[in-house]
A and B are shown apart, each in its own frame.
Chain A
Amino acid sequence: MEERTPLASTPWLDPDARPFVRIEGLSKHFGDFKAVDAIDLDIYRAELFSILGASGSGKTTLLRMLAGLEAPTSGRIEIDGVDVTDAPPYERPLNIMFQSYALFPHMTVEQNVAYGLKKDRTPGPEIQRRVAEILDLVQLSSHARAKPSQISGGQSQRVALARALIKQPKVLLLDEPLAALDKKLREHTQFELVNIQDQLGVTFVVVTHDQEEAMTLSTRIAVMNEGRFTQIGTPNEIYEHPCNRFTADFVGKINLFEATVIGGGDAEVTLRCEALDCTITLPHAAPLAAGAAVSLAVRPEKIFLAKEPPRETDRTVLRGVVLDLGYFGGLSLYRIETGNGTVIEVSAQNRQRDARGPEWDDEVYLSWDASNTILLGE
């Protein structure tokens, strides 16, 4: 706990950086079902890495294989240069924080936290010192003698965290760490988790279905679907530069439209989009064959909503009527139907207290900068 290894700024971009956790061709099959399908992943020291996926995407199976609770069908797991693929859980240099917290109900908070050190035959005085230290870190010193049944959900979560951290694992695995907390507490705990991770410099691998959680916590996110990663990248890359329909659709709200390639040059491509009833030219590195089907995507907050047509001409402009609107306080979400029946979601910040935005059935103009249009293959 004394030494702290800060995260090198962007080690995943450095070809010479040595990954701390290296997963190669890892698979887990249950009969014919491929829960995890030949996954490769490098995680760097002191990263806070999230695996984001819906339930059944295989993310929990992947985590359990890392912890040694599930034996892989094939592939390798290496942690800090040591192959742990076949090591039993009690010999792995990592600990897991369970979604259910899995606190031992017959032990006090203190005994729960000390459990891992006792198994290591750490001398008594040192156990006492380190338990006191970590209970202090998670602000639970006053509850040391309480049983898990006597403390709140948020406190249980911190006990589970302390218990998993006390052995100073090389990697801490967190299974849906915040899922059992209510919203207010979740937001607070998110930042607390990041702080603790930053203080201790432990590599965190978080499994979650909550994209907001993944976004705020992570250095990088791997989006998982049907046992495979659809994209690995920083939260910003995942959100602003999704590279396929699944990632774009899964992370955040997005409007997706079918389009067809009608021409283009070396660095750009021209598309015809029937849904938007327009022709768009976008920069694109790899040449696309004419006639190829692609998708266009625009995030709702990138679209500007106005009652008057915009003065700029270099924007994509559409006309429509308000089909539906939802008021969320800080922002409002509109569903706009264009002339040809396409429904587009737009979100707008409510910047003025008493300004009246568009109402149901109002005619409005949508516009967005072409650079905000995401081009997705497949």
Chain B
Amino acid sequence: MATYSTNEFRSGLKLLLDGDPYTIIENEFVKPGKGQAFNRVKLRNLKTGRVLEKTFKSGESVEVADVMEREMEYLYTDGEFYHFMDPSNYEQFEAPASAVGDNAKWLKEQAVCTVVLWNNVPLIVEPPNFVELKIVETDPGVRGDTSGGGGKPATLETGAVVRVPLFVPEGEIIKVDTRSGEYVGRVKS
């Protein structure tokens, strides 16, 4: 059983607590001058996303969660699972819909995603920060209006709906920030 000592704690480290994988967000050393030293740690549960605070006696060891991040190419979905491939060794993984969640709306074939594996099973799928997707449906463009004020909804080829400026027409490829879901700009072809 691999463990980390509290003095190895730093943000990003993955721990196993009560059977769930956690990532350290913050680690603070707490010690009264004449007393017991503790590590006060803010953790995110990688399964539920919930954030909680735990305190460990300094010097104690905590079990390592077998969690790693890998860059993978999105292949396709069969309706139940999302299929990914590690381009470095062509190894394929099936991610359940729960791992992809709301991010499914940004996934287009060949998109390079960050896949968090726990015990070799995809736990979280993060889409690329920026994606370039085609508008398949939006109100007709308003000529001359380049102000960007107001805006209108546009449906993208993956099903995502984003607000775009009035002048952007259907069929255009646009760049979107997946973290905010916001339109960034048109992609010149």
Decide whether A and B assemble into one complex.
Answer: no
A-side residues, CB < 8 A to B, are none
* Residue ranges of B at the interface with A (Cβ–Cβ < 8 Å): none
